[in-house]
Structure 1
Amino acid sequence: MSRVAFVDGAYVDMASARISIEDRGFQFGDSIYEVIHFVGDFYVDAEGHLDRLERSLLELKIPVPLPRATLMMHVRHLRRKNRIQEGFVYIQISRGQAPRNHLFPVGASPTLVVVIKRQLFTSFEPKKIITLPDTRWKRCDIKTTNLLPNVLAKQKAFEENAFEGWLVGEGDVISEGSLSNAWIVKEGRLYTAPTTCNILGGITRKRLIMLAAQEKIPVVEKSFTVKDAYQAEEAFNSSSNAPLTPVVQINDRKIGTGVPGPISRRLHQAYLRFVEDGLRHG
């Protein structure tokens, strides 16, 4: 069966889906996106993702194309049309179609694209990461499609046989990964960078902080350096597509004992229980 997408109010075959070459998302990266993992009809932390989507639109002064209830109705219908039990929904909204001009176009309507893709939760498999210079713009808190620095970082990590690249700025401070939030464990406490304009406020990050509180695991929202990461007892990444991925090597340095640590394991199990509970209760 061919895949189906939702493009500007219509369900269309993926092979024939089209947007204009004058779409501002295509020409300027003048667009935002959101990714929501789902299992059946349970959309993990959907409200948090939709809050962030609407905030990104507000920050860029792009009108909200659909009420969230209507948008989620189309998302659910699209999942059923594609007959996918587990995967993620990708939502992208641009400022719309207009003749190329840096100024905001008058009267343009936002372009809305929704795609469903099959993907299982990644396993709790330990990974190596590398550190790289953070060359992104200064509004990383907006989830825009301007991802070229992230793409280059992820590609560099791949070329170095690493899973992810942690981005390093002034003072050797780690902000986040190319497509994930960064965490370390020191003296039994979880450390992750605070939500400023320099990082994306991860929805899975927020969920893990809540689960850590339930598990009585202290969380410190404080920036940490590469040296701090080298000296950590544990480290991991978090994202919607890979909720908690243990990091056992950073560059050429082994982290902790070189295997996933007890706090990472405990928090991962708490996350799985959260998803299972969501499946039971919707």
Structure 2
Amino acid sequence: MMKKLLLTLFLSAGLLIYAQVGIKTESPKAILDVNGDMNLRSKIAVFDATDNTVSQGNNDQLLVSQGEGYPPIWKTLRIPEYEPNKFYLIFNNSFSDKQGITFASYEQANIATSREVTFVKGTSIGNLNGFKKIDGLSKTISVFSTQSKAYFQFETVVQADFSTNGSTDTSIDYACGIFVDDKLINLRQRNLKAINSSHPFLTHTQIGVVENLSKGDHTVSVACSRLASYGATGRTLTIGKNVYSNINDFIAQSSLKVDVYEVPEVFNPIIN
């Protein structure tokens, strides 16, 4: 009788080892398939076949799947701590462009009204004649809070193929604008003037700020225009690229730095 009992126990153990076991289910989908709540009174451990070790993880760690065919691993979940009603740097990046834009003498903006009336914050780029985008500086940014401040710093080099200045001044007026979703948020006008050496250039820098963008994705871009010429018929203006070899495209390249500060409303946990 005892031999029969032992044989039955061994056979049952073999079935448990090689068969799928279901609790509250007649068709288990894994070695152990529980259809319902499970209460663990002791510990969970993960076996690592590479070194034959068993890890129980550390306090506050989570068991994270690595995908089918791979054992799960323990991960630490970190949630950043924020003080209420304070702005924090949420997005920071910078971009560059060496292609730039070129304006021939005939590519001047035909502004029907005064510049004071034309260049107004919020104006659509489609209503600003003669503006060309610097393609490499058009980027998408994301905003996660209704309370935000976005800062944009644009820098480039402007050059013209002037000869040395003569008895009559030679110069070109130009303007560059920073746009968010193709709406003007900042604009600067300057004048590049011929000097006592040929092919003059200058460094152009401007900073724009916009507050409380709507939550979601937005496109930031930079565009410039040739506004007027004075004794510069037939002369070319370049922005973000060189028109002559006294500088190169590395020196003349454009850059845009973007910082977005927010009062956090969405908290994205970080797992490492």
Task: Provide the TM-score with structure 2 as the length reference.
Answer: 0.26
User: Which has the larger strand fraction?
Assistant: 2
Task: Provide the TM-score with structure 1 as the length reference.
Answer: 0.26
- Higher RCO (CA-CA < 8 Å; seq separation 6+): 2
User: Which has the larger helix fraction?
Assistant: 1
Which one has a bigger Cα radius of gyration?
2
